[in-house]
């Protein structure tokens, strides 16, 4: 992907808030005499952050979460690696941010940890060990890479035979042929001097030292010696050493190392983990769980300590590439360094501050503050460049996405109040916060101080929304209840005259869905009245009558809940934005079969079904992008941003017509996407990664989407590209043949008069041609298809359409047919349900009875006709069949061709 502002992409990453705080050694100083920068990772992106001028250089290329990284001693090279399928290891130029070397699939499931040799010529990696139950087939392995030569495979490879998963690897900085790894219980010394990776793992018994030994954390070779050290979670250091022995050639070599000493370094009163080890200019550097950084000499005598940072457990310490000038021969002197903590702080430390008397001056300089827990709430301010972010640690952060700074932070007691969802009042003065204990708070948008509190719910608040005019607040909880409050002010602007703490009256709650609610949206009618709809996994669309709802009557529905799907599950909904050509209130519902269905808000008829983006999983949020009021070209159209449950977000252009070239998608986060928002000016799309604790800011460039649409062609071209073989393939030729044969059927196959070739077929022929092409729609789908064509021009011309041409038919076919073919697994699941979960088999009499009475029941004549078409003379044999399995029904009755592989491919795409 090009850099931000390049203009060539519809979405370009502009900024990343937060960093991967839990990677040990995951933050590195890139500072020297001229540059003041740090490197860290944010989800699947590497970030070079220049904290002097607040700029980011974003290193993009990984698709999985980056699991480890390192920087060369001269700060010239950066190495990153990720974990997951199709993992990568990338060497970057730290000056330009360009990738220099990419190694694909360095290990099957990715890289656990890595190290770079002091000369930056070699990289050593340890693989992710995923399957502990089968160590023989899924053994951890260690690889040595000579990345500077033209080869893609490792120089040396060896299996890690211990069952203790190794989590740390280090080169010996004085002899790169020696490598050290450790897990929680074992330390392994490796050597490749003999042109292969040989190892020795010394035993360590608690009896030898008469004390309990805690789990190992990090290891390090002692500079210019035969010794090595390993840190533990108890605050101990284990010293490994080897006595020199004489060989026959009278040369001295080092024997295998063994543990010779255990020294308690921290936590003399109680165990205190040592999280990080490094050596710097002859000092042993320890980052500890008590939030301190301590310097020792290698006789383990304390030299300097930084214990007043108050930033949380230390995860990384990294030094600038500058020469430190000692004040005197005995003075403690190291370069300036940075410290990262598991509380998501990055601090800049000047070594001389440990001599300061004032505690505040010993805290260091805050270079960056990240997000310290799983993100759930995200909202963009309706009038300023602020975004609100909430996480499960109980904090709400306000960020200025233009100034790239944290404006305000409020922390709640996470044991009592965990913020789950956020939304701004349309006036921008207040922020609504839904919590996991059912509480809803209205807080001041700038100070985050409490304004009002709603305590009607007892279950976690899943979503909270407010009407565009500020007249109503609606919330849904985890038990599928909808709660409604009405503003005592007639409009949002009248709120200034009322006490904000007593501005809302609680109307009530209702349980209009039997399964989780997947969409809650306010809209505005043409006469500027608030509208409210919900959709749920129960396949119901519910329309609420806000004017008739009151404290006395509770929440009133306009009409009973309407079932809008037969097999698909609604995943989200949104109100179609106002634009040219739209003359009615439309609720657009996305489902898990990759379809958009547009429903008339008044009569609840399905106006149109179109294909939704299929770049990732089903869509779970769709947000209208505010129209650019400053744009000179008012005919450019409207756009929406969307997200899926995992990884993928994108843009799509309205109106919705199933054109695959009017949408795009990209991997925004390496895992689950917890929330998204669009800024008030429509210039940025904000995405939250949930578990990765990252918020990404994407610059929106709709002109790139316009260009993509233009490249896709016009009229029928974009839709024929969706067909097998395209416009010149065999399948399209079949469509043409069936289409014109339908015209012959309409005029009579035996007609002798001159035929009137109109290039159109009547609506009644649409289902016949669909079935001839292998798509068997239900009666409801046929009704929706024909209604879609019949009323396609009604709102503009007040006339109905009674025929369809070839181009319109191809669009209809590509939009309505299933994205994923039916596989034997779906038939087996259906048999399980029909049999009452007793197994994948049914008596023919029971199956026949269900076909004749359930769902869209078939008539005896229809069923007999189908069976004769499928089985011919053998149709009567079914009556004597005692039991029918799903496999036998698929193979023998349906003559089934399995599309399972196609389903798998589609799911990947």
Q: What is the DSSP letter of 726?
A: G
* Predicted pLDDT of residue 423: 98
The beta-carbon contacts of 754-760 under 8 Å, at least 24 apart in sequence, are 758/803, 759/805, 759/806, 760/803, 760/804, 760/805
pLDDT in tens, 694-737: 999 999 999 999 999 999 998 899 999 999 999 999 999 999 99
pLDDT tens digits, 459-512: 999 999 999 999 999 999 999 999 999 998 754 445 555 566 678 999 999 999
Return the CA Rg of the chain: 33
Of 166, 234, 154, which is closest to residue 199 (Cα–Cα)?
Answer: 166
Q: H or E stretch including 848?
A: helix 844-853
* pLDDT tens digits for range 732-780: 999 999 998 888 887 766 655 655 666 889 999 999 999 999 898 999 9
Please state the rounded mean pLDDT for residues 614-633: 81
Shared-domain flag, residues 654 and 694: yes
Residues 213 and 286 in one domain: yes
Q: Are 434 and 421 in contact (CB under 8 A)?
A: yes
Shared-domain flag, residues 842 and 757:
no
Distinct helix (H) and strand (E) counts, the chain: 13, 63
Contacts of residue 10, defined as CB under 8 A and 6 or more positions apart, other chains included, come to 650, 651, 664, 700, 701, 702, 704, 705, 708
Q: Both 79 and 119 in a single domain?
A: yes
The CATH number that applies at residue 895 is 1.10.238
Whether residue 736 sits in one domain with residue 669: no
DSSP 8-state assignment for residue 355: G
pLDDT band, very low/low/confident/very high, at 6 (cuts 50, 70, 90): very low
At residue 902, the pLDDT reads: 45
Inside any domain, residue 289: yes
Looking at per-residue pLDDT, the higher value among 388 and 753 belongs to 388
191 backbone dihedrals φ, ψ, rounded to 5°: -145, 135
The two three-digit tokens of residue 210, written as one number: 């008469």
Distance CA 676, CA 646 (A): 12
Say which DSSP state 132 is in.
T
Question: Is residue 629 in some structural domain?
Answer: yes
Q: Are 867 and 851 in contact (CB under 8 A)?
A: no
Q: How many domains does the chain have?
A: 4
Region of 105 (left: φ > 0; alpha: ψ -120 to 50; beta: rest) is left
Q: Give the pLDDT confidence of 17-73 residue by residue, as tens digits.
A: 999 999 999 999 999 999 999 999 999 999 999 999 999 999 999 999 999 999 999
- Of 790, 809, 788, give the one whose Cα is nearest residue 800: 790
What 3-state class would DSSP assign to 275? strand
**CA dist 212 to 39, 169, 202, 204, 909, Å?**
38, 24, 17, 11, 52
DSSP assignment of 758-814? -SEEEGGGHHHHHHHTT----HHHHHHHHHHHHTTTHHHHS----EEEHHHHHHHHH
Residue 67's SS3 state is strand
Look at residue 581 in the predicted model and tell me its pLDDT: 80
Q: Does the structure show a pLDDT above 70 at 854? A: yes
Is-contact 835 849, C-beta < 8 A?
A: no
C-alpha 781/C-alpha 566 separation (Å) is 9
- pLDDT band of residue 651 (cuts 50, 70, 90) is very high
- Percent of the residues in the chain that have a pLDDT greater than 90, as a whole number: 71
Determine the Cα angle at 197 with ends 192 and 203, to 5°.
105
Q: Whats the size of the chain, residue-wise?
A: 909
What's the rounded Cα separation, in Å, for the pair 803 and 776?
Answer: 20
Mean pLDDT on 894-905: 55
Whether 135 shows a pLDDT value over 60: the answer reads: no
Separation of alpha carbons 156 and 146, rounded Å: 9
Domain contains 731? yes
Longest dimension (CA), the chain: 113
Starting at the edge strand found earlier in the chain, the sheet holding 123-127 runs: 111-116, 123-127, 141-145, 156-159
Report the C-alpha gap between 27 and 898 in whole angstroms.
50
Q: Give yes or no for a cis peptide into 655 (omega within 30° of 0).
A: yes
pLDDT at 526 over 80: yes
269-272: list long-range contacts, CB under 8 Å, 24+ apart: 271/214, 271/233, 271/234, 271/235, 272/234, 272/235
- 149 plus 265 within the same structural domain: yes
Angle (CA) 341 345 346, round 5°: 90
Question: What pLDDT shows up at residue 755?
Answer: 59
Mean pLDDT of 807-827: 89
Higher pLDDT, 810 or 838: 810
Tokens of 345: 């702080």
CATH classification of the domain holding 665:
2.130.10.10
For residues 106 and 159, is the Cβ–Cβ distance under 8 A? no
CA distance 266 to 250: 43
Structure tokens at 497: 């005259």
Residues of the domain holding 190 = 65-322
pLDDT at 501: 67
Residue 887 banded pLDDT, cuts 50, 70, 90: confident
Handedness of CA 834, 840, 845, 848 (dihedral sign): positive
Reference 404, options 392, 386, 418, 390; nearest CA is 386
- The last residue of a domain, from among 712, 738, 753: 712
- How far apart (Å, rounded) are the C-alpha atoms in residues 301 and 332? 13
Is the pLDDT score of 4 beyond 60?
Answer: no
Q: Is 324 helix (H, G, I), strand (E, B) or coil?
A: coil
Please report which residue ranges of 326-426 form alpha helices under DSSP H. Answer: none
Q: What is the pLDDT of residue 300?
A: 93
Residue 361 neighbours by CB distance under 10 Å: 12
Q: Tell me, yes or no, whether 783 and 796 share the same domain.
A: yes
Q: pLDDT tens, 537-590?
A: 999 999 999 999 999 999 999 999 999 999 999 999 999 998 888 888 999 999
Residue with token string 């008739």: 548
Residues 702, 725 within the same domain:
no
Residue 328: other Cβ atoms inside 10 A: 7
Torsion region of 869: left, alpha or beta (phi above 0 gives left; psi -120 to 50 gives alpha) = alpha
Is residue 870's pLDDT more than 50?
Answer: yes
| pLDDT exceeds cutoff 50 at 379 | yes
CB under 8 Å to 177, separation ≥6 — which residues?
Answer: 191, 192, 193
Only one residue has tokens 């000579």, namely 146
Across the range 831-855, mean pLDDT stands at: 82
Alpha helices in 181-262 (DSSP H): 206-209
Same domain, 708 and 723: no
Whole-angstrom CA distances from 126 to 83, 109, 140, 168, 353 are 11, 11, 7, 8, 38
**pLDDT computed for residue 326 by the predictor:** 67
Burial class of residue 552 (count of CB atoms within 10 Å of its CB; 0-12, 13-18, 19+): exposed
Torsion angle in degrees (nearest 10) through CA of 902, 907, 908, 909 = 90
pLDDT digits (tens, 9 = 90+) for 345-360: 999 999 988 778 888 8
Instruction: Kindly state whether residues 724 and 624 are assigned to the same domain.
Output: no
Burial 600-625 (b: 16+ CB within 10 A, else e): ebeeeebbbbbbbbbbbbbbbbbbbb
**Which residues lie below 8 Å from residue 395, measured CB to CB, with a gap of 6+?**
372, 373, 409, 410, 411, 412, 419
% of the chain with per-residue pLDDT over 70: 91
With a cut of 60, say whether residue 365 has pLDDT above it.
yes
pLDDT-derived band at 897, boundaries 50, 70, 90:
low
The whole-angstrom separation of Cα 788 and Cα 777 is 14
HEC string of 251-270 equals: CEEECCCEEEEEEECCCCCC
Query: Do the domain assignments include residue 488?
Result: no
Final residue before a domain boundary, out of 272, 300, 322: 322
Asked whether residue 652 falls in the same domain as residue 708, the answer is: yes
CB 540 within 8 A of CB 517: no
Residue 465 covered by a domain: no
Q: 869-903: buried (b, 16+ CB within 10 Å) or exposed (e) per residue?
A: eebeeebeebeeeeebbbeebbebbeeeeebeeeb
Asked whether residue 87 falls in the same domain as residue 179, the answer is: yes
Q: How far apart are the first and last CA of the chain?
A: 19
* 583 found inside a domain: yes
Q: What confidence category does residue 327 fall into, taking pLDDT thresholds of 50, 70 and 90?
A: low
DSSP state of 422: E
Q: What are phi and psi of 27, to 5 degrees?
A: -125, 135
pLDDT of residue 907: 41
* pLDDT of amino acid 270: 82
Burial of 327 (0-12, 13-18, 19+ CB in 10 A): exposed
Instruction: Flag whether 810 is in a domain.
Output: yes
The model's pLDDT over 219-263, given as tens digits with 9 standing for 90+, comes to 999 998 999 999 999 999 999 998 555 444 434 444 578 899 999
pLDDT at 291: 95
Q: Assess if residue 238 is contained within a domain.
A: yes
Q: For position 754, which CATH number holds?
A: 1.10.238.10
- Identify the DSSP state of 892: I
Chosen domain end from 765, 791, 816: 816
pLDDT above 90 (res 137): no
| Residue-level pLDDT at 268 | 72
What is the average per-residue pLDDT within 381-390? 97
């Amino acid at each position: 992907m090009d850099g931000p502002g390049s203009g060539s992409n519809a979405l370009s990453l502009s900024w990343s808030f937060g960093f991967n705080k839990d990677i040990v050694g995951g933050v590195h100083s890139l500072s020297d005499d001229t540059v003041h920068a740090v490197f860290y990772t944010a989800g699947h992106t590497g970030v070079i952050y220049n904290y002097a001028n607040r700029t980011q250089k974003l290193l993009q290329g990984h698709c999985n979460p980056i699991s480890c990284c390192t920087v060369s001693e001269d700060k010239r090279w950066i190495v990153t690696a990720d974990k997951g399928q199709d993992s990568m290891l990338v060497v970057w130029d730290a000056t330009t941010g360009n990738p220099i070397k990419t190694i694909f699939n360095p290990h099957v499931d990715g890289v656990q940890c890595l190290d770079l040799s002091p000369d930056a010529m070699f990289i050593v990696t340890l693989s992710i060990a995923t399957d502990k139950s089968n160590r023989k087939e899924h053994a951890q392995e260690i690889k040595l890479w000579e990345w500077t030569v033209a080869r893609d495979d490792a120089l040396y490879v060896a299996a890690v035979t211990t069952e203790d998963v190794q989590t740390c690897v280090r080169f010996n900085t004085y002899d790169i042929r020696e490598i050290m790894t450790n897990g929680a219980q074992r330390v392994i010394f490796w050597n490749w001097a003999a042109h292969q990776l040989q190892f020795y793992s010394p035993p360590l018994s608690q009896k030898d030292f008469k004390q309990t030994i805690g789990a190992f954390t990090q290891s390090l070779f002692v500079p210019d010696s035969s010794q090595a050290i390993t840190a533990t979670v108890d605050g101990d250091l284990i010293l490994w050493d080897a006595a020199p022995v004489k060989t026959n050639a009278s040369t001295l070599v080092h024997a295998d190392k063994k543990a010779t000493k255990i020294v308690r370094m921290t936590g003399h009163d109680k165990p205190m983990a040592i999280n990080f080890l490094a050596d710097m200019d002859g000092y042993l550097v320890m980052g500890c769980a008590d939030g301190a950084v301590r310097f020792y000499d290698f006789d383990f005598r304390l030299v300097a300590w930084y214990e007043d940072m108050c930033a949380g457990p230390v995860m990384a310490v990294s030094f600038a590439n500058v020469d430190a000038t000692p004040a005197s021969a005995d003075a403690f002197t190291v370069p300036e360094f940075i410290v990262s903590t598991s509380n998501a702080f990055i601090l800049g430390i000047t070594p001389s501050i440990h001599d300061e008397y004032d505690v505040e001056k010993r805290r260091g300089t805050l270079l960056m503050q990240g997000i310290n827990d799983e993100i759930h709430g995200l909202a963009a301010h309706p009038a300023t460049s602020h975004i609100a972010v909430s996480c499960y640690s109980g904090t709400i952060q306000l960020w200025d996405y233009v100034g790239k700074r944290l404006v305000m932070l409020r922390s709640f007691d996470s044991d009592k109040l965990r913020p789950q969802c956020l939304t701004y009042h349309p006036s921008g003065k207040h922020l609504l916060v839904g919590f996991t204990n059912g509480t809803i708070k209205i807080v001041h948008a700038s100070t985050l101080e409490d304004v009002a509190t709603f305590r009607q719910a007892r279950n976690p608040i899943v979503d909270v929304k407010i009407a565009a005019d500020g007249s109503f607040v609606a919330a849904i909880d985890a038990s599928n209840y909808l709660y409604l409050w009405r503003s005592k002010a007639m409009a949002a602007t009248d709120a200034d005259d009322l006490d904000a703490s007593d501005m809302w009256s609680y109307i009530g709650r209702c349980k209009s869905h039997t399964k989780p609610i997947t969409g809650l949206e306010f809209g505005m009618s043409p006469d500027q009245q608030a509208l409210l709809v919900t959709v749920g996994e129960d396949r119901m669309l519910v329309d609420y009558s806000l004017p008739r709802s009151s404290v006395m009557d509770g929440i009133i529905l306009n009409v009973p809940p309407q079932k809008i799907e037969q097999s698909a599950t609604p995943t989200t909904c949104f109100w179609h934005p106002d634009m040219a050509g739209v003359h009615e209130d439309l609720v657009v519902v996305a489902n898990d079969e990759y379809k958009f269905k547009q429903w008339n808000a008044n009569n609840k008829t399905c106006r149109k079904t179109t294909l939704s983006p299929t770049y990732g999983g089903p869509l779970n949020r769709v947000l209208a992008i505010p129209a650019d009021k400053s744009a000179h070209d008012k005919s450019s159209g409207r756009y929406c941003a969307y997200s899926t449950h995992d990884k993928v977000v994108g843009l799509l252009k309205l109106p919705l017509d199933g054109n695959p070239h009017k949408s795009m998608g990209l991997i925004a986060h390496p895992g689950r996407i917890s929330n998204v928002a669009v800024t008030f000016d429509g210039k940025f799309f904000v995405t939250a990664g949930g578990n990765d604790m990252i918020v990404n800011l994407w610059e929106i460039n709709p002109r790139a989407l316009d260009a993509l649409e233009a490249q896709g062609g016009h009229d029928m071209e974009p839709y024929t590209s969706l067909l097998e073989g395209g416009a010149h393939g065999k399948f399209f030729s079949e469509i043409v043949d069936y289409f014109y044969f339908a015209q012959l059927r309409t005029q009579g196959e035996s007609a002798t008069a001159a035929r009137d070739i109109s290039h159109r077929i009547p609506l009644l022929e649409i289902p016949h041609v669909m079935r001839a092409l292998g798509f068997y729609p239900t009666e409801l789908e046929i009704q929706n298809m024909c209604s879609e064509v019949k009323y396609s021009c009604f709102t503009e011309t007040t006339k109905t359409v009674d025929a369809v041409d070839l181009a319109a038919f191809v669009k209809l076919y590509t939009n309505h047919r299933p994205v994923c073919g039916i596989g034997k697994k779906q038939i087996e699941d259906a048999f399980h349900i029909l049999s009452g979960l007793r197994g994948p088999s049914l008596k023919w009499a029971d199956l026949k009875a269900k076909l004749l009475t359930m769902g869209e029941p078939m008539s005896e004549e229809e069923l007999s006709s189908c069976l004769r078409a499928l089985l011919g003379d053998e149709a009567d044999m079914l009556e004597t069949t005692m039991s029918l399995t799903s496999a036998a029904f698929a193979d023998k009755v349906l003559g089934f061709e399995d599309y399972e592989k196609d389903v798998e491919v589609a799911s990947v795409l």
